Chains A and B, each alone.
Chain A
Amino acid sequence: MFDRDGLLIAICEVIQLSRPKYAMVSERYKAIGRWLGAQGSVFENDRPEIYPQGSFAIQTTVRPHGEIQEYDLDFVMELAGGATRYQISPEALLNDLESRLRENGKYKGIVERMNRCIRLNYAGDFHLDILPALPAPNRGLSYKIIVPDRELHQYKPSNPKGYRDWFRAQSTRVLLKESSIEPLTPMQAAAEKPNLCNIVQLAKRARDVEFSKPETAVRSIVLTTLLAMHYSSGSSLEHELSMTLKATNTTIAQCRNIIEVYNPANPEEKLSECWDKYPEQYQSFTSWMSNFCEKVDQLQRLHGLELAIALKAMFGEGVVNQAVQLNASKVEKLRSSGQLGMSSRGSRTGSLSIASAVAPAIKKNTFYGQG
């Protein structure tokens, strides 16, 4: 909270799904999984497995911008047992998922049938979109699955777990030590996450602030994939955000036509196909990206109020104010427990920090004054 990334990290804390909500979601989706696999369920013998995909899986959740303040969280229900009876009828699979959920009084009133998934509406908090899936034929040791397409006529390939593993590898590939990929702990505070997660969150938030019509903005999966592909380590989150954006912009600039973004975990899937259909959206995306990159670069020269004003323009006034309040409350907590110190040596004087031998604890005081 005291270093250069203090405000950016606090912004990520403010925009992501809070820890209590994260725990609530985890509990709920596991309960849904148990219900789907329980005795009496149509899926009883199919070994249904529920797992997160998208932002919840890779810890890049961002609160929705605008009037609807519910988080949009995606899950997969994979019938690990194969369930050959659904192989020619994705619609039947979706129908059975819907009816099984409606059989439970807890879910009956909040079930909503969407295009190719079932939504559970926890109004005011979040909604869980459950996409049914089957294991891909001949998938070997991979995580590949098949999911209903938009028209529910057939299946198309997907690989959310593979994407999650790819993303984690991208976020940790800059570690010098050789090690197997450490799984992400269930819920990490913004300051503890790999910086790539925070970079994606900040970019998604900046996109939401810029594009009032979400359907014309770059898809989160495309933005996430581009940033992860261009991520490199630096001296701080701020520096890494700047470098990642610059690298992404360089790639865009070097491409004479619309860039093509394929799913690294499912190479036949062209994530960026909507740009082929709507090239004007690509134009808006590239000019926003270029502008965002420039503004982020300038941040590094700003401090205090000027920095906050620039961040407000990018991420929204309310979010920055909440981030400042969050940092202030953390400092006040340290202060009231006698753990806030100030160091008087080194390149900066008067720097607040956690009390230590070089930063003696600040004696108790009460701000006073006649105003």
Chain B
Amino acid sequence: MGKDSRKRLKRLAQRQGVLTLAQQCAAMKSRMPSWQQRARRRDFVRWEGWLQPTDYSEQYKIRIELRRLNVPKAYLMSHPITNAEGSRTPHLYKDDTLCLYQPAYREWLPNMLIHETIIPWCSLWLFHYENWLITGEWYGGGEH
């Protein structure tokens, strides 16, 4: 892609309110101070942090990767995504990332902050994941 095209796309993105990686990183540093930025390249960032949905829940380690012009991906790092019987947790993509929203409903858009969307949705997903491990049922609703 030529330098001019990139500049045009950048201006277009800015007009649409698309957040840059730098903006997402700044917000994460400020609002999720216990999370760590593990990798940073020009068009890629990876964060990791712990979430504990309730006081009686486990703490779970989540990795979030965001590639420029791409959708964020969330991974469960600390625990298996299958239960003792070997069943896969509901609401995972084939690449084992967490299915946190329905793309068709535009629930996440690039003008949204990760810490206001992906992270709380991870916490909620983890709450239901834990309940699924305990009971075998997913109580968080959703679609396939």
The interface of chain A, by Cβ under 8 A from chain B, is 1-7, 303-308, 320-321, 324-325, 327-329, 331-332, 335, 340-342, 344-345, 348-352, 360, 362-371
Contact = CB atoms under 8 A, between A and B. Distances in A.
A5 B55 CA distance: 8
B29 to A, nearest CB: 12
B50 A349 contact: yes
A31 to B, nearest CB: 39
Nearest to B100: A365
Nearest to B121: A365
A2 B103 CA distance: 29
Interface of B: 31-35, 49-59, 88, 90-94, 99-103, 105, 107-108, 112, 115-117, 119-128, 130-131, 133-135, 137, 139-144
Nearest to A322: B135
Contacts, number: 156
B90 to A, nearest CB: 6
5 contacts: A303-B59, A341-B120, A349-B51, A351-B54, A369-B91
A367 B135 contact: no
Contact of A349 (B35, B101, B102): B35
B91 to A, nearest CB: 4
A324 B115 CA distance: 27
A368 B127 contact: no
A366 B143 CA distance: 7
B56 A349 contact: no
B128 A328 contact: yes
B1 to A, nearest CB: 31
A363 B139 contact: no
Given A305-B133, A325-B137, A6 B120 contact: no
B9 to A, nearest CB: 27
B54 A369 contact: no
B99 A369 contact: yes
B115 to A, nearest CB: 7
A352 B116 contact: no
Contacts of B135: 321, 324-325
A367 B122 contact: no
A350 B116 CA distance: 11
B119 A350 contact: yes
Given A362-B121, A365-B121, A371-B88, 16 more contacts: A3-B54, A304-B56, A305-B58, A306-B58, A308-B133, A325-B131, A349-B50, A349-B52, A362-B120, A362-B124, A366-B105, A367-B90, A367-B128, A367-B142, A368-B142, A369-B142
B122 A350 contact: yes
B83 to A, nearest CB: 9
Contacts of B112: 363
Contacts of B120: 341-342, 350, 362-363
A358 B56 CA distance: 20
A2 B93 CA distance: 28
Contacts of B99: 367-370
Most buried by B among A321, A335, A363: A363
